[in-house]
Structure 1
Amino acid sequence: MKTIQILLITLCLHIGLQKAYTQNFELDTRKSELFWTGKAAFSSYSLKGTIAPKKGIISISNTTIMALNIVIDMKSLDHENNDLKNHLKNEDFFEVKTFPKATFLINNVIEISNKKAILLGALTIKGKTNTENITVRIEQAESGITLKFNHTIDRTKYGVNHNSPSIFKRMKENAIADEFTLEGTLIFVK
């Protein structure tokens, strides 16, 4: 009986110490950057623009990411061509009036190894949620955490089907690749 009590006390102390060493950092939206790249399906033509993170939090304990939640402001979707920007925001693409935010939330704790981690999480765009595995490079400092990534997303998994060659099989000339790239530097501070 005494052995069980000692084990329980040790376990409680371990859990308590783990929680005590967990640090929370908030996303610095002014310093963080997100860039998107979309391409034509059957040519080398591509377009690039920006989108802004709205808020986020990361919790880290030693070399483990305990929690991560990021909100992206879909209304901030931007491109130098106003017609294209407005088209991306309408019903053909991201419907930002109806779906003003996208979110990414990790599903479990994630180990950091050699300044890298694979974030297994739920990405929600246009109200549709899918699992994404995003490889990130991590820079840790006393003042904060920086995550850098370059990830490819299949837009059709999120109901963004406009001019998709996999949905509209006969489309060639105006076909837009199903995948787009999201590249970012997310800076979290205490």
Structure 2
Amino acid sequence: MLNTILAIVTFFTLTGTENTNDVQANVTESTVIWKATKVVGGGHEGTVVVKEADLKLKGTELKGGSFTVDMTTISSTDLEGEWKDKLDGHLKNDDFFGVATYPTSTFKITKVQKTAEGKYNVTGDITIKGTTESITFPTTVTAEGDKVTTNATITLNRTKYGVKYGSSSFFDNLGDKAISDEFKLIVTLVTVK
């Protein structure tokens, strides 16, 4: 009986702890770029600031992690002046992300599947406007010296998070003012081991 208990303890000691390190991201080097398009040509893009992020790494292998973005910083980068101010203000109001009520959005990894050296399929829970959905997307991890960089392009359907403004899935006769339901987040997290 004692041998069985020791064997179980040894098994969990060897397999349950993967010697992972929690590594904080450098938020000044990490970026999130968003890209949205209209149904009939055109679109906008911009940034949102990474508030905090950490990755669980075993050496340079990705094992888990999470990040939080500050939605109050969402802004367009393809416009200037009055048009930029109008779009940025609209993105922050309740038609879109309601940042006064929902100042942050988060993503937490729940599963990592290695597909090749430096390449992974990542599954996790993303929360936007208080709604959480599970998503899966490909991710690459590169290491240069002590710096580890994680890159991913995430495609989301905004209507799943209550962002329905200008969606032809919910409103008729929008014509060329219809905005695509899907938008992209291009995420780069930079950490130093």
Deviation at 1:156, TM superposition (A): 0.3
Residue 11 (str. 1) matches residue 22 (str. 2): no
Q: Could you tell me the percent identity over the aligned residues? A: 29
Give me the whole-angstrom Cα distance separating, in 2, the residues matched to 1:97 and 1:13: 45
Residue identity matched to 1:7:
A
Deviation at 1:169, TM superposition (A): 3.2
- Counterparts of 1:49-88 in structure 2, within 5 Å, are 49-62=46-59, 65-79=62-76, 80=79, 81-88=84-91
Which of 12, 15, 33 does residue 35 from structure 1 map onto? 33
User: Which consecutive residues of structure 2, in runs of 5 or more, have no partner in the other structure?
Assistant: none
Answer yes or no: is the 8 Å Cα contact 1:64–1:112 preserved in 2: no
SS at match of 1:107: strand
Answer yes or no: is the 8 Å Cα contact 1:64–1:109 preserved in 2: no
Q: TM-score, normalised by structure 2?
A: 0.87
Which of 175, 178, 187 does residue 175 from structure 1 map onto? 178
Answer yes or no: is the 8 Å Cα contact 2:71–2:103 preserved in 1: yes
Answer yes or no: is the 8 Å Cα contact 2:48–2:73 preserved in 1: yes
Give me the whole-angstrom Cα distance separating, in 2, the residues matched to 1:126 and 1:39: 20
Q: Aligned residue pairs: how many?
A: 187
Greater Cα shift, 140-149 or 76-85 = 140-149
Answer yes or no: is the 8 Å Cα contact 1:148–1:186 preserved in 2: yes
Deviations 1:35-55 (A, max 9, x none): 1111111x2211111111100
Answer yes or no: is the 8 Å Cα contact 1:147–1:185 preserved in 2: yes
- Counterparts of 1:3-152 in structure 2, within 5 Å, are 3-15=3-15, 18-19=17-18, 21-41=19-39, 43-62=40-59, 65-79=62-76, 80=79, 81-111=84-114, 113-141=116-144, 143-152=146-155
Deviation at 1:24, TM superposition (A): 1.5
Answer yes or no: is the 8 Å Cα contact 1:63–1:113 preserved in 2: no
SS at match of 1:157: helix
Q: TM-score, normalised by structure 1?
A: 0.89
- Structure 1 residues 9 and 132: alpha-carbon distance in aligned structure 2, compared to 1, 3 A threshold: closer
User: Which consecutive residues of structure 1, in runs of 5 or more, have no partner in the other structure?
Assistant: none
Give me the whole-angstrom Cα distance separating, in 2, the residues matched to 1:185 and 1:140: 13
Deviations 1:11-31 (A, max 9, x none): 144147x34x21121011100
